[in-house]
């Protein structure tokens, strides 16, 4: 009896490092061969997925050819931009392609075989929704270039690393708060030894980066400031750190920090003007309900409840489960289950 051909798995990646880390973490945890489909998008990416529907039209024309082959058995995706692509693959496969989406697609969970949101997203409960406390991220040893390792070895331990994110719809990074965080880390290093490392992200405003540099240069401790381009690379900084502090806006960087098992502290952020206005109204009208499209307060409360992070003054180490493996096990069960009876559940818009 001939053996079954191996399942075809597509990992759909895009322009954002944090999103790609999630997709690849799950693809690798599955333990089966997969193809990474690197996508970029045109102006149609701004159209809401529910309006755009199943289509490849939002993908840059030069990259569409890689999607035109026979649809895979499984897609792994995240972010809004991939949603029309996933729906089109399901349509072309007559519902045979299983779709796993990480995060909040801003359409009903019924369009996916498995939806994996983190606590800040207002995703309704459903049998195919699997909630996890923080974003998936590769666990275990990180790939670090020897040149980066050598560069970072010059900085005395303990190395205190600050990961700086950026503003979101309802939250901003207060410059005085970030400056105070650097000053606190520098003071601790002055008193007990060690060094301070700081790295920005693509979302970090220039004025925040400038404040970080200014605060570091005003200290007397050994420091390294990396605005976000490297060297050293981001994984090398996380690997070299003894304690990690993260601005509370970044779910992806918090996940990177927590999964190291090192002490982690959240650096508070502040409500934006819009955040103050919306929360004042919605918390009165719908108390205890998540704001649309994401409510970081629910993410922070989950971290605290699970004991996964501490504060700037008292960072906390933890040993979280490998959520990529847990989600991968659910995906394997999905792949072993019978296909739905309907030819194409995704044909309705």
193 plus 304 within the same structural domain: yes
Does some domain include residue 210? yes
308 plus 188 within the same structural domain: yes
Number of domains in the chain: 2
Give the side-chain half-sphere CA count within 13 A for 258. Answer: 29
239 plus 122 within the same structural domain: no
Tokens 């990480």 identify what position? 102
Range of the domain at 97: 9-136+324-336
Look up residue 302 and give its two tokens. Answer: 């989950």
288 plus 329 within the same structural domain: no
Confidence at 138, pLDDT banded by 50, 70, 90: confident
Measured CA to CA, the distance from residue 192 to residue 37 in angstroms comes to 48
DSSP3 helix / strand / coil % (the chain, rounded to 5): 40, 15, 45
185 plus 306 within the same structural domain: yes
49 plus 130 within the same structural domain: yes
Look up residue 62 and give its two tokens. Answer: 């030069």
Q: Name the strand (E) or helix (H) holding 237.
A: helix 234-240
Measured CA to CA, the distance from residue 151 to residue 145 in angstroms comes to 10
pTM, two decimals, is 0.91
305 plus 329 within the same structural domain: no
Per-residue pLDDT, 27? 97
pLDDT digit string (tens) for 104-127?
A: 999 999 999 999 999 999 999 999
Radius of gyration, CA atoms only, the chain? 21
- Count the Cβ atoms, other than its own, within 10 Å of residue 321: 12
Does some domain include residue 349? no
Q: How far is CA 164 from the centre of its chain?
A: 14
Q: Taking CA 36 as the corner, what is the angle to CA 30 and CA 40, rounded to the nearest 5 degrees? A: 135
- For 298-348, the DSSP string reads HHHHHHHHHT--EESSS-B------HHHHHHHHHHHHHHSPPPSSS-TT--
Backbone angles phi, psi at 155, to 5 degrees: -95, 125
Q: The domain spanning residue 290 has which CATH number?
A: 3.40.50
Per-residue pLDDT, 189? 98
128 plus 163 within the same structural domain: no
175 plus 310 within the same structural domain: yes
89 plus 44 within the same structural domain: yes
* Residue 74 CB partners (closer than 8 Å, separation 6+): 7, 8, 9, 10, 97, 98, 99, 100, 331, 335
Does some domain include residue 346? no
Look up residue 214 and give its two tokens. Answer: 């200014």
pLDDT digit string (tens) for 9-23?
A: 999 999 988 899 999
Look up residue 259 and give its two tokens. Answer: 């999964």
Q: Say yes or no to pLDDT of 141 above 70.
A: no
pLDDT digit string (tens) for 6-59?
A: 999 999 999 988 899 999 999 999 999 999 999 999 999 999 999 999 999 999
């Amino acid at each position: 009896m001939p053996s079954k051909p191996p399942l075809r798995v597509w990992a759909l990646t895009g322009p954002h490092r944090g999103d790609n880390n999630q997709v690849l973490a799950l693809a690798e945890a599955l333990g089966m061969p997969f193809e990474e489909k690197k996508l970029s998008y045109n102006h149609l990416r701004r159209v809401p997925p529910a309006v755009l529907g199943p289509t490849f039209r939002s993908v840059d024309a030069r990259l569409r050819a890689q999607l035109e082959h026979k649809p895979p058995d499984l897609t792994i995706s995240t972010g809004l931009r991939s949603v029309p692509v996933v729906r089109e693959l399901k349509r072309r496969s007559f519902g045979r392609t299983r779709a796993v989406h990480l995060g909040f697609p801003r359409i009903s969970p019924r369009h996916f075989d498995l939806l994996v949101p983190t606590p800040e997203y207002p995703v309704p409960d459903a049998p195919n929704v699997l909630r996890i406390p923080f974003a998936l991220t590769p666990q275990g040893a990180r790939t670090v270039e020897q040149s980066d390792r050598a560069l970072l070895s010059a900085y005395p331990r303990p190395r205190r690393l600050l990961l700086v994110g950026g503003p979101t719809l309802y939250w901003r990074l207060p410059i005085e708060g970030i400056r105070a965080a650097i000053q606190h880390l520098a003071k601790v290093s002055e008193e007990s030894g060690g060094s301070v490392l700081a790295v920005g992200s693509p979302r970090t405003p220039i004025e925040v980066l400038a404040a970080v540099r200014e605060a570091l240069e005003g200290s007397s401790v050994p420091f390294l400031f990396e605005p976000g381009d490297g060297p050293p690379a981001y994984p090398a900084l996380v690997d070299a750190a003894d304690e990690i502090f993260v601005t509370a806006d970044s779910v992806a960087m918090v996940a990177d920090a927590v999964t190291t098992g090192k002490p982690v502290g959240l650096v508070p952020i502040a409500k934006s003007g819009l955040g103050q206005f919306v929360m004042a109204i919605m918390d009165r009208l719908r108390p205890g309900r998540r704001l649309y499209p994401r409510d970081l307060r629910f993410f922070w409360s989950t971290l605290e409840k699970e004991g996964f992070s501490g504060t700037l003054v008292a960072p906390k180490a933890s040993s979280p489960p490998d959520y990529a493996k847990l989600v991968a096990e659910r995906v394997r069960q999905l792949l072993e289950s019978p296909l739905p009876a309907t030819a194409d559940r995704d044909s309705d818009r």
